[in-house]
């Protein structure tokens, strides 16, 4: 069982590491005019359909999904870790038909990527299918524990809901494949949650219904967005709590 006290201690240690690497993150972000990692991304409108009586019920509603590569340029064939950031929004934040979409609105961010831990990152990088965001090979995990208010400490993961063989002629890039899956109604992921050593439980389906023509850099993730009761804890999230604001400050200073 993962204790909240233990997570808090690891979070403090992570912040210490974050402070140590913050100057390098600031320089890289300012020079690139983008995130130090996951610089380029594709943003989709989504609808979250939660399973009644589970954590998913509090997540139901509109959302934004940002897909990105961690290190390589968008669409590059090089081995990479893929990221998927979700921003849960209120009904008035994301009009489905017409109206302006404000990607800065939302009350909860959830950050996932296609690796299991820092120790296995190189192996996970090699096994990630970088040609297809919705490849059945790719599982997006929170990696570090997240605390679910009122329920305990958990690991969350997103798996492709349509795990069958994709149809032939599905585009030549991961952006095209994502667009085709959306157009054909195939673009969906299942959100699972696992408390302590328990088996993962399906709590929601994330249905993608449109690619939106916005600069993915404008969706600035924040671990302070915890309106649905998901709180990032632990060592890795401690690092994020320092370096994310530093990176965002650097980009604002250079007008990016």
CATH code, domain with 183: 2.40.180.10
Residue 19 lies in a domain: no
In a domain, 6, yes or no: no
Q: What is the pLDDT of residues 153-203, one digit of tens each?
A: 999 999 998 756 666 667 889 999 999 999 989 899 999 999 987 899 999
- Mean of per-residue pLDDT scores for the chain: 88
What's the structural domain count of the chain? 1
Q: What is the DSSP string of 186-248?
A: --EEEEEEEETTSPPEEEEEEEEEEEE-S-GGG----TT-BTTSEEE-HHHHHHHHHHHHHHH
Give dist(CA 168, CA 131) in Å, integer: 14
What confidence tier does 34 reach under pLDDT thresholds 50, 70, 90?
Answer: confident
Domain assignment present for residue 114? The answer is: yes
Q: Is residue 223 part of a domain?
A: yes
Q: Is residue 161 part of a domain?
A: yes
Q: Is residue 200 part of a domain?
A: yes
| In the chain, % of residues over pLDDT 90 | 61
pLDDT of 2 over the 60 cut = no
Burial class (CB in 10 A: 0-12, 13-18, 19+), 205: middle
**Band of the pLDDT at 218, cuts 50, 70, 90?**
confident
Residue 104 lies in domain: 38-240
- Domain for residue 125, yes or no? yes
Residue 3 lies in a domain: no
**Residue 246: its pLDDT value, please?**
94
């Amino acid at each position: 069982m993962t204790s909240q006290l233990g997570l808090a201690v690891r979070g403090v240690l992570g912040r210490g590491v974050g402070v140590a690497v913050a100057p390098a993150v600031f320089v890289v972000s300012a020079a690139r005019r983008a995130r130090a990692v996951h610089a380029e991304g594709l943003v989709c409108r989504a609808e979250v359909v939660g399973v009644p009586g589970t954590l998913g019920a509090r997540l139901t509603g509109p959302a934004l999904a940002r897909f990105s590569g961690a290190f390589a340029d968008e669409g590059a064939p090089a081995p990479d870790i893929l990221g998927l950031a979700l921003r849960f929004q209120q009904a008035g934040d994301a009009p489905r038909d017409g109206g302006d979409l404000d990607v800065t609105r939302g009350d909860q961010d959830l950050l996932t990527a296609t690796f299991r831990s820092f120790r296995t990152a190189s192996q996970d990088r090699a096994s990630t299918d970088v040609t297809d965001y919705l490849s059945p090979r790719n599982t997006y995990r929170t990696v570090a524990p997240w605390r679910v208010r009122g329920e305990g400490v958990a690991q969350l993961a997103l798996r492709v809901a349509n795990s069958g063989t994709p149809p032939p002629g599905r585009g030549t890039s991961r952006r095209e494949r994502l667009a085709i899956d959306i157009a054909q109604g195939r673009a969906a992921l299942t959100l699972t949650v696992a408390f302590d050593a328990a088996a993962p439980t399906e709590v929601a389906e994330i249905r993608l219904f449109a690619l939106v023509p916005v600069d993915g850099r404008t969706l600035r993730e924040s671990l302070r967005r915890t309106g649905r009761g998901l709180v990032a804890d632990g060592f890795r999230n401690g690092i994020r709590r320092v370096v994310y604001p530093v990176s965002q400050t650097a980009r604002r200073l250079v007008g990016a």
